[in-house]
Structure 1
C-alpha cells in the first residue's frame, strides 16, 4: 500500500550503522546533512496522498488499491507518459533536481525481469525471486536504490591477486542464504530501505570470477552493514547563499558488507557470469530514461537562470546573447526530442514489457551528458562574473553595508537588490559551487562512464540500414549483404 512520509521516516529508524565526519549518526531522519533529502523523499510519499497530486503520482489496480506510478511495470506508451509526468511533478513540487529517489533505480530490476530465461539457466528460483521482488516493490512501496561501483583496488590486477574484497564477493553459502563481503558506493543508501546490489564492470570470461558474479536485493538495515558517508554540502553556508546545496545534496556512502547474510529469497543471480554480463549490458535499458529526464530539467534551470540574468541587466536584445540562449534551447530540445521519440517509437522487451526505443534513448543520453559541461559554461558566460564575486546575504542585511549593496545591486525599479542577490546566489550554487561540481562529476557515476554510453549506442543502433543503402548505391556484390 502507498506509504506516508512519516511511515517512510519510521522505516529507516532501524538502528542502521551510519557514519558522517567521524561520528555515528543517531537518527538519519534528523541529521542535518541527511534530513533535507529524507524530507524530500517523505514529500514524494505524501504527494501520493495529496488530492492535488494523487492522480499524477498513483494509479489504481483492478482491486482499487493505489500504487506508485514510478514502480509500475511499463506495458504501454501511456505508462511511460505517466511516469514522465510523475517525475516532472516531483521536481516541480520540490523546486529542484533529485536523482536517487527510486523511479530511476527500479528500472534496473525490470532489466532482470527481461532476463528471466538467463536466470533460469542456473536456478529457476532466481527468476521467481525477481518477479516476487518487483511485485513486492509495487505493493509495499519501499525506497529502492542501487549499488554498483566497488572500490576496485589495483585495476591492473585481478581481484584474486590482491585483497579479494576490492570487489564484492560471496564468501560462504548457508541454508539461510549467501554471505557476502566487500564494499559498494551507493547514493542515498543511508536513508533508503533496500538496494539492488549488482556486479561492477569486470572481465567475466574466467571461471574464477564466479564468486563476484552475484546480484541481490539488500535490506539496508541488515546486521553487519556499515555506511560511511561523504560529508554533505548542507550546512556549509546559509540557505540564502546556497539554496541548492542545502536542500538537494544526495549524500553518497561507502557501504561495507562485513559478512552480511543475504537470504536466498533475495538472491537474483549467483555464480553465473552470463547473468552478470546480461545485467551489465542492459542495466540502463529503462532507467536511462529517468536519468536523461533529469538533464532536461537541469537544462530548464540553466535557461531560466541565464534568461533572468540577461533581462535583469538589459542584455537580452543583443544578438550574441540571443545566440547563446539559442544554443541552450537547442540542447534542451535535443534532449526533449530523444525522450519523446523513445516513447513514440518504443519497442517490446524480451520479457513482454515496453521499453523506450533503445537507440534513441542511448543516443539521447550521449547528447545530454557529453554536452552538459559546455551548456554549464555557456550559462556561466550569460550570468557574468558577478556570480563569483557577490557578497553573501548577511552583508545585504548588515546596516553598515546594506545601503551600498542596495545601491550597486539594484538594476532598476523592476529589479531590486534582493532579487538580484537571490538570482546570483542561485546561479552560483547551480554552476560554480562545490555542490555544482559534484553534480557534474556525478554524471560519470550515476549514468556510467562515457565509454559505456557509446558502447550502449553501438549495441543498439541498427547498422543494417546504412550498410544496405551503401551496398546498393555503390553497386557492391550481393555477398556483401551479410557482412
Structure 2
C-alpha cells in the first residue's frame, strides 16, 4: 500500500554510513544538505494521501483492493501513460521546481528487465521469478527506488581484469545464501533511498560469455558494507531568497562504496550472464526515458516563464526581436511535448506484454530535449538580461542604509516594485546562471547516458526500412538491391 511520509522518513533512519563534506552524517533527514531532497520525497508520499491529489497520484488495484502509487504501476494502456504524466506534473507543480530521481523514473528500468524474462531464463529461471517478485514489491510496498549504473571505471583503455578489479562492481564470491559484491557506483539520491537496481555499464562484452562483472541485483540501501560518500550540496550555499531552487530542489549524488556487500539470491536478477547484461544496457531506458524527458519539458516551461516575466517587467515583450526569441523557446518546448504526446498515441506492445512509448519517437524526443537545452538556457539568459549576474543579494535589499537606493533602481513602475524584481532575477539566476544551474545542465550527461548512447538508441529504434524501400521504388532499383 502507499506509504506515509513518516514511514518513509523512519525507513532511512537505519544507521547507514553517509558522508558529506568530510563528516559522517548522524541523521540523514535532518541534515541541512539532505533535508530539501528528503522533504520533497516525503511530500510525494504525502500527496498520495491528501484528498485533492490522491486520485491523481494513486490508483485502486482491482485484484488486491489496495491503493498504490501510479508511478509504480506497470503500464498496460495509453491511459496508464497519461496518468503517469499527470502525476509527475502534479509533483513538479507542488514542489515548484524540477526533481528527477524520486522513483517514478527509475522504477521503469525494472520493467525493461521484466520484458527480458526469456533472456534471464537462459541462465536460471529463478532470476525471472525474482524480477517479477521485485516488481510486485515495488507496486505494493512503495519503496523509494533508485538506479545504480555508472562505475568509476578507472583506465578505460584497459579491461577491468587488467587493472584494479574494483573499478567496476563485480562478484567476489558466492555463498549458499547469495553473492558478495565489491566496487563502487555513482547514484543520485542513494543516501536517502530505500533500494537501487544495480547493473553494469559495459555495453560491449566482446567474446566474454561469463563474467563476474555481468551482475544485476536489487540492493537494500541499509545493507552492511555500503558507504555513501556524497558531493557537497547546493542547499545552504546562499539563502533561499537568493537561491530558491538550489535550496528547494537540489538532489544529492553519492559515490556508493560496496565493501563486500552480501546480496541474497532472491535479490539477484542476473549473474555471470553477459547476454542479460547487454540486453538491459540496450533496453534500460525503454520506459524511464519518458519521465526523464518530461522533466526537461518542465525546465523549458520554467525558462519560458522566467524570460517572459522579465520582458514584461521591463516593457520589452512587444518588441519583434524579443518575440522571436520567445518563439524559439516555445518551439523547443513544444518539440519535446510533441514527441512525448506522440510516443503515447503511437505506443507499442513490449516483448513482455506491457505498453511502451513509441521507442523511435521517445528516444528522438530525448535527444531533441538534451541537445537543445544549452541553447535554450542561453536564450533565456539573453531575455533575462545581464542583471541576473550582477544583482545584489537579498540582505542588501534589507539593509536600511542602502535599501532606498536599491528600491529606487530596481523598481520599474507602480506595479513592479523592487522586491518582485529582485525575486524574479534571483529565480532566473538560479535557473540558468548559478552553480546549481550549471550542475543541472551537466547532469544531463549523467542522468540517462551520454549523447552517443542516446543517439545509439535512436539508431536502433528508428525504422530505416521505410526510407530504404521508398528510395528503392522511387529510383527503380533492381530486386538485387532489395535483397541486400
Q: Secondary structure at the match of 2:238?
A: coil
1:354 alignment counterpart: 355
Change in Cα spacing, 1:157 to 1:209, as seen in structure 2 (3 Å) is farther
CA distance in 2, matches of 1:162, 1:44: 43
Change (3 A) 1:153 1:208: farther
SS at match of 1:171: strand
Q: Secondary structure at the match of 2:146?
A: strand
Specify the alignment match of 1:16 in structure 2.
Answer: 16
* Paired residues, number: 483
> Matches of 2:294 and 2:3 in 1, distance apart?
25
Query: What is the TM-score when the length of structure 2 is the normalising length?
Result: 0.99
1:208 CA drift (Å): 7.6
| Kept in 1: contact 2:204–2:278 (CA 8 A) | no
2: CA distance between counterparts of 1:120 and 1:31? 44
Paired residues of 1:145 and 1:192 also in contact (CA < 8 A): yes
Contact preservation (8 Å) 2:360, 2:461: yes
How far the C-alpha of 1:70 sits from its partner, in A, is 0.3
**SS of residue paired to 1:207:** coil
Q: Write out per-residue CA displacement over residues 363-410 of structure 1, whole angstroms, 9 at most, x where no aligned residue.
A: 000100001000000000000000000000000000011000000000
User: Aligned to 1:413, what secondary structure does the other structure show?
Assistant: coil
Instruction: Kindly state the Cα deviation for residue 205 of structure 1 after the two structures are TM-superposed.
Output: 1.9
The alignment status of 1:345 with 2:346, answered yes or no, reads yes
Q: Which residue of 1 aligns with 2:449?
A: 448
Please list the CA deviations of residues 5-24 of structure 1 after superposition, one character each: whole Å capped at 9, or x if unmatched. 01100000000000001110
Distance in structure 2 (CA, Å) of the matches to 1:172 and 1:466: 51
Aligned to 1:43: 43
Q: For residues 143 and 483 of structure 2, what CA distance do their matches in structure 1 show?
A: 48
Q: Which residue of 2 aligns with 1:396?
A: 397
**Is residue 207 of structure 2 the alignment partner of residue 206 of structure 1?**
yes
Name structure 2 gaps, 5 residues minimum: none
Deviation at 1:204, TM superposition (A): 1.1
TM-score scaled by structure 1? Answer: 0.99
Distance 1:70 1:203 in 2: 32
Q: RMSD in angstroms over aligned alpha carbons? A: 0.7
- Taking the aligned partners of 2:51 and 2:393, their CA distance within structure 1 comes to 39
How far apart in 1 are the matches of 2:449 and 2:402?
47
Q: Deviations over 1:292-335 (max 9, x none)?
A: 00011000000000000000000001111000000000000000
Given that 1:312 and 1:411 are in contact with CA atoms closer than 8 Å, whether structure 2 keeps it comes out as yes
SS at match of 2:46: helix
After superposition, the C-alpha distances for 1:36-92 in whole angstroms (9 at most, x for unaligned) are: 010000000010100010000000012421000000000000000000000000000
Q: Secondary structure at the match of 2:171?
A: strand
Which residue of the partner structure matches residue 4 of structure 1?
4
Aligned to 1:471: 472
| Residue equivalent to 1:58 | 58
- Asked whether the equivalents of residues 216 and 270 of structure 2 are also in contact (C-alpha less than 8 Å), the reply is yes
1:145 match:
146
Q: What residue ranges of structure 1 are gaps of 5+ in the alignment?
A: none
Q: Is the 8 A contact 1:15 1:221 kept in 2?
A: yes
Secondary structure in 2 matching 1:216: strand
2: CA distance, partners of 1:51 / 1:389: 44
Matched with 1:239 is 240
Distance 1:233 1:482 in 2: 58
Matched, 1:130 2:131: yes
On the 8 A contact 1:205/1:273 being kept in 2, the answer is no
Q: Which contiguous aligned blocks of 4+ residues in structure 1 show a shift greater than 6 angstroms?
A: none
Distance in 1 separating the partners of 2:203 and 2:26: 37
Q: Matched residues in 2 for 1:326 and 1:202: separation?
A: 39
Aligned equivalent of 2:430:
429
Secondary structure in 1 matching 2:123: coil
Superposition map of 1:139-288 within 5 A: 139-207=140-208, 210-288=211-289
Q: State the Cα distance separating 1:202 from its structure 2 match.
A: 4.2
Aligned counterparts of 1:209 and 1:192: Cα–Cα separation in 2: 31
The answer on 1:482 being equivalent to 2:483 is yes
Q: CA–CA distance in 2 between the matches of 1:125 and 1:481?
A: 44
Which residue does the alignment assign to 1:91? Answer: 92
